[in-house]
Structure 1
Amino acid sequence: MLASLVPFLSLLISTLLMMVAFGLQSYVVPVRAVAEGWSTQTITWIATGYTLGFTSSCIVTPKFILAVGHVRVFVALITLLSIAILLCSLMVDWRAWIVFRTISGFAIAGSYLIIESWLNERVTNENRASVFSLYVMITMVGSVAGQYLVPLGDPTNTTLFILCAIIFSVSLLPTALTSSPLPAPPTQARFNVLKLYRRSPVAVVGAFLAGALSGAWLNLGGVFTQRIGLSTAQGATLLAALLVGSTLAQIPIGRASDRMDRRLVMVACGIVGVAASLAMIAVQGGPPTLLYVVAALVGSVLFPIYALNVAHANDLAQPDEYVEVSSGMMIVYGMGTISGPLVAGPVMDRFGPTALFAVFTLYFAIYGGYAAWRIARRDAASGMVAKTDYQAMPVQPLGAEASAAALQGESSDEPLIADTTTPQWTKP
């Protein structure tokens, strides 16, 4: 096992450091925004800039890689991440922060694309599960560790912003200096969202709602913790609890969906999401430990449901359509992440921070209810085609929010499963 990881070691170290900086950034930015007295609506516009940058990068970054290669683009993107967070500390104006966060979203998405395509290119069917399980754990550990750096400094000055930029910059070193072979240049794939919707409405609608939920939480979760009066340490713990809940739920949800109609699992996830979101409203103001437990329950369905919808969409696709399906799903998910904070932000401004979970309740109810309605309209996918394997995904999004590996071996007897975080690419 250890020997099989040697070719990826430098890349995994870079990923860990990048996620530490990302975790710190994703918490210190909303904490500083709240400290500046900006309204939730204003913070929402900043968050929208981030999600727009993230989604556009999924389309644009492959063109840069085709032109100059993986390492040069990775260096450029990490440099942009460092620059963007430093600019946030130098120019504390919400209008400027929209631009800076757009740059951050673009750069972090491109970095995910490069890291995961690099892994997909180098793993084999024998070590794929092990490598990507480790990758999922690294993204979670890094994000949580970064959030716990916030209590060590003062978000109202430049220290934490500078520290974040330093960690981003240091994350370049292992990959920039690696002697491991570089991945081959990618080729681009088409995507057709309308065609995808006609074939699998529940997958497309579910992916959009999954994006809306994750986009709202990742951009406004820090605002929620501050507005309900948690300290930075307590807020970091709540965010970490949700991530841990998501990580732990990946395997049981995946196994259940591989053994029954995935739409039944979607219905169950919707019910759990509704119950957990209502519980989060009920326990607000209670003991922090209770908040952490309920947040983990929310997390158990918040992030894993996207992988569930990707698997269902692939169930209805032909092998030569997997990349096109994954491309369309990623774009739909990205559109959802843009809409999430735009809807939740004004509601929080009007009704208070716990209204975030009222929005979650509505989204989860639609998610589960639509899946139940589709069950009544069409026979189970497993009755028409062979199921693809459920692929666990890192809890961040768009990554945060990202897919695990593609089963790519050309000589393998296993079906090709497209990597949903690198949707524009196929194996050369």
Structure 2
Amino acid sequence: MLNVLRQSWALLLGMGLLMVGNGLQGSLLGVRGPAAGFSALEMSMVMSAYFVGFLFASRMVPEMLRRVGHVRVFAALGSFVSAVLILFPAFQDPIAWTFGRMVIGFSFCGLYVTAESWLNNSATNETRGKALSLYMIVQMVGIIAAQALLVIPDPSGFLLFVIPSVLVSIAFAPILLSVSPTPAFASTKPMDLRALYRTSPLGCVGLFLLGGVFAAQFGMSAVYGSAAGLSLQQISIFVASFYVGALVLQYPLGWLSDRMDRRRLVTGCAALGGSAALLAALTGGPFNLLLAAAFVIGGCSNPLYSLLIAYTNDFLDHEDMASASAGLLFINGVGAIAGPLIIGWAMQTVGPQGYFLLIAALLLAMTGYALYRMTQRRAPASQDTGAFAALTPAATAVAVEAVQEYAHDKAEQEREE
């Protein structure tokens, strides 16, 4: 682990700062938008735009990297992020914010693709698993730390927008000054979606539903907090609780997934998360209950992302995993775009509790579909399954493919032993 830190500390530090900046801007917009008079539906459009940009970038950035190189792409997209963050308080209009969030989503996806390709290039077969685990932990810790900045006094209304802009700008220094800008990069075309669905119906449906759940956590949690009348400090703790749960439960659930039918674990996680959301929706609080619900929802839904990808890979040949992962990320991205829009409509229709009602509906629908699929197909034999590897829903295809390669190699080694 120390050897990995020595090799990748600059990249991990830079990514940590980027995640703090990204986590802060998402929550900040969720608080400032309602304060500026934006409706829940307007805020849902703003939040959904991030995932529209993210989805476009996942297809366009690889070509940009091949044409102009990693350093130029990284610097250009980072400059866009810093500029848009400063412009948000100057143009308090839902249309302007929607366009800005789309640019932010596009740019952050490009930054992640670039950084993940650097990280994968610098790791060896022996260190790749540890490097990817550290990267995922840094992502989660960065988002959690960002919520603490939300309570900094901001009399002028500009300071909290300046802070993430500065953090993103500073993040470039350790990365660009320390990392070799020459990793090989090749984009992967998604597998035909009909073929992917035939291979793993549960993986496709589950990741589509999970996209909406993840978008609710990352995009709409602060909007819910504002609508529910939580204080700024309570909103910051509430949003952080989703990611603390993810950080705490990711690896224990991953350990279980290598030792039991993954569909049972998917069913259990989805049912537990859906039940917690339903309880929060029906009771409406108190605050400690909201925190517990957020912890359980985050702790169950984030590992589900890794579980569903690992389960799908159990039915794929190794050479098909990369194209399948690109297709799964596309499906998840479509769900993430739709999620905030539906939740915004629900909150506008039935009130703040619509936030948890939609999360409950998505996770309980996944529970029902997973139970149905268990009646349609036998579980793969344990010797035919790959190893679980932790992923966050913010990971791009580069990280997913690297994790798949690591998990495949690990499973092969275990079979030989």
Paired position in structure 2 for 1:131: 131
Residue 414 (structure 1) shift: 5.7
Paired position in structure 1 for 2:321: 322
After TM superposition, list the pairs within 5 Å mapping 1:198-217 onto structure 2. Answer: 198-217=198-217
Residue 379 (structure 1) shift: 1.0
CA gap 1:402/1:26 in 2 versus in 1, 3 angstroms: farther
CA gap 1:51/1:398 in 2 versus in 1, 3 angstroms: farther
Residue 343 (structure 1) shift: 1.0
Paired position in structure 2 for 1:376: 375
* TM-score, structure 2 normalization: 0.93
Instruction: Report if aligned partners of 2:387, 2:410 keep a CA contact under 8 Å in 1.
Output: no
Distance 2:64 2:158 in 1: 32
Paired position in structure 2 for 1:108: 108
Instruction: Report if aligned partners of 1:348, 1:354 keep a CA contact under 8 Å in 2.
Output: yes
CA gap 1:404/1:230 in 2 versus in 1, 3 angstroms: farther
Q: Compute the RMSD of aligned alpha carbons.
A: 2.2
After TM superposition, list the pairs within 5 Å mapping 1:221-232 onto structure 2. Answer: 221-232=221-232
- Corresponding letter in the other structure for 1:362: A
Distance 1:98 1:242 in 2: 24
Residue 271 (structure 1) shift: 1.2
Residue 269 (structure 1) shift: 1.3
Instruction: Report if aligned partners of 1:242, 1:299 keep a CA contact under 8 Å in 2.
Output: yes
Residue 398 (structure 1) shift: 5.1
Distance 2:253 2:120 in 1: 23
Q: Deviations over 1:198-250 (max 9, x none)?
A: 11111000010111111122111001111111111111111111111011111
Instruction: Report if aligned partners of 1:391, 1:404 keep a CA contact under 8 Å in 2.
Output: no
Residue 75 (structure 1) shift: 1.1
CA gap 1:360/1:156 in 2 versus in 1, 3 angstroms: farther
Identity %: 32
Paired position in structure 2 for 1:357: 356
Distance 1:155 1:131 in 2: 41
Pairs aligned (count)? 411
Range that drifts further, 156-165 or 398-407: 398-407
CA gap 1:355/1:245 in 2 versus in 1, 3 angstroms: same
Secondary structure of the equivalent of 1:163?
helix
| Match of residue 391, structure 2, among 393, 396, 405 | 393
Residue 94 (structure 1) shift: 0.8
Instruction: Report if aligned partners of 1:212, 1:338 keep a CA contact under 8 Å in 2.
Output: yes
Secondary structure of the equivalent of 1:152?
coil
Give the gaps of 5 or more residues in structure 2. Answer: none
After TM superposition, list the pairs within 5 Å mapping 1:304-315 onto structure 2. Answer: 304-315=303-314
Instruction: Report if aligned partners of 2:268, 2:367 keep a CA contact under 8 Å in 1.
Output: yes
Paired position in structure 2 for 1:74: 74
CA gap 1:57/1:316 in 2 versus in 1, 3 angstroms: same
- Corresponding letter in the other structure for 2:85: I
Residue 68 (structure 1) shift: 1.4
Paired position in structure 2 for 1:35: 35
Instruction: Report if aligned partners of 2:117, 2:183 keep a CA contact under 8 Å in 1.
Output: no
Distance 2:235 2:353 in 1: 14
Secondary structure of the equivalent of 2:264?
helix
Range that drifts further, 56-65 or 86-95: 86-95
**Which structure's residues are more often helix, by fraction?**
2
Instruction: Report if aligned partners of 2:329, 2:397 keep a CA contact under 8 Å in 1.
Output: no
Instruction: Report if aligned partners of 1:71, 1:175 keep a CA contact under 8 Å in 2.
Output: no
Give the gaps of 5 or more residues in structure 1. Answer: 417-428
Instruction: Report if aligned partners of 1:77, 1:111 keep a CA contact under 8 Å in 2.
Output: yes
* TM-score, structure 1 normalization: 0.91
Secondary structure of the equivalent of 2:92?
coil
CA gap 1:354/1:218 in 2 versus in 1, 3 angstroms: same
Secondary structure of the equivalent of 2:352?
coil
Asked if 1:336 corresponds to 2:335, the answer is yes
Distance 2:290 2:66 in 1: 46
Instruction: Report if aligned partners of 2:118, 2:180 keep a CA contact under 8 Å in 1.
Output: no
Paired position in structure 2 for 1:347: 346
Distance 1:52 1:415 in 2: 37
Residue 133 (structure 1) shift: 2.1
Distance 1:243 1:277 in 2: 15
Distance 1:156 1:261 in 2: 54
Instruction: Report if aligned partners of 1:214, 1:397 keep a CA contact under 8 Å in 2.
Output: no
- Corresponding letter in the other structure for 1:188: S
Instruction: Report if aligned partners of 2:86, 2:165 keep a CA contact under 8 Å in 1.
Output: yes
Secondary structure of the equivalent of 1:235?
helix
Paired position in structure 2 for 1:300: 299
Secondary structure of the equivalent of 1:5?
helix
Paired position in structure 2 for 1:48: 48
